Amino acid sequence: MNNFSSRSTASATNGSVLNTLMRLFLRDCKHHLRKQSDILNPLCFFIIICSLFPLGLSAERELLNTIGGGVIWVSILLSLMMGLNQLFRDDYEAGVLEQFLFTNTSLTQVVLAKIAAYWCVSALPMIILSPIVGTAYHLTSDQILVLVMGLALGSPTLALLGSIGSALTLNLKNGGVLLAILILPLFAPVLIFGAGMVNAVHIGLPVNAQLSILGALLFGSLSLAPFATSFALKNSLDY
């Protein structure tokens, strides 16, 4: 009987956590949809960067194929950085983050929901467009497949790691430069292995190792980043 009660309590708790996460996720998605610039600015920036490289460099097929994966990865990385400074700022200025501290809602849950919503409105549209952009760089179907797989694993890691820097610079008026200095070194491994996968397919090498490393980075950042971000938020809020 006690075992049944404990299982029921654990199941109810898990359901409550999932419901809370879903409500917070939908709340942030609606907030981003009301501010269409949160979606359009990173997407337009991504398209502009990817369009300028073929114009500024040679239109030679082999050259574009060689640099295509790296250009797309760097473009998505820079586009994601555009919105990181505002990831928590709107709720911070409105006093919503402080209200969460006085409720039963875990700040870690708030962080996870906000990161998920940010990834959906910022990174996901760019991942969907990346095969089209890849054709402009003459990427093969295998390269495009690997590119999308790498972005699906790597872009959430970028968002999770970026949230730490966003929380640390939350109470700074002009923290954009400091944010870039803090998170770019953390982004480097994801960029190296992600872009390296596309080049590995180009020269006929396997990509299992890079995929495993990107998966490990995602698992590690998912396990640690939300707690580090919530701790940084509490410091920024002086709690």
Tell me the per-residue pLDDT of 96-151, one tens digit each, with 9 for 90 and over: 778 877 776 788 888 998 999 999 998 999 999 999 999 988 899 999 999 999 99
pLDDT at 239: 57
Length of the chain: 239
Encoded tokens for 138: 């003459």
Answer whether residue 6 shows pLDDT above 70.
Answer: no
Encoded tokens for 55: 């114009």
57-85 mean pLDDT: 87
86 Cβ contact partners less than 8 Å away, ≥ 6 residues apart: 38
DSSP state at residue 50: H
Under 8 Å between Cβ of 152 and 124: no
DSSP state at residue 170: T
Specify whether the backbone of 138 is left (phi greater than 0), alpha (psi in -120 to 50) or beta. Answer: left
3-17, 86-100, 218-232 — which is least confidently predicted?
3-17
| CA gap 172, 157 in Å, rounded | 24
| CA gap 82, 130 in Å, rounded | 18
Encoded tokens for 98: 């402080």
pLDDT range class, residue 1, cuts 50, 70, 90: very low
* Cβ neighbours around 146 below 10 Å, total: 23
Q: What is the pTM of this model?
A: 0.86
Task: Please state the separation of Cα 44 from the chain's center in Å.
Answer: 17
* Residue at 155: amino acid letter: S
Give the DSSP per-residue string, 59-127: --HHHHHHHHHHHHHHHHHHHHHHHHTTTTHHHHHHTHHHHHHTSSS-HHHHHHHHHHHHIIIIIHHHH
pLDDT range class, residue 63, cuts 50, 70, 90: confident
Answer whether residue 11 shows pLDDT above 60.
Answer: no
234 Cβ contact partners less than 8 Å away, ≥ 6 residues apart: 101, 107
For the chain, the first-to-last Cα distance in angstroms comes to 41
Answer whether residue 37 shows pLDDT above 60.
Answer: yes
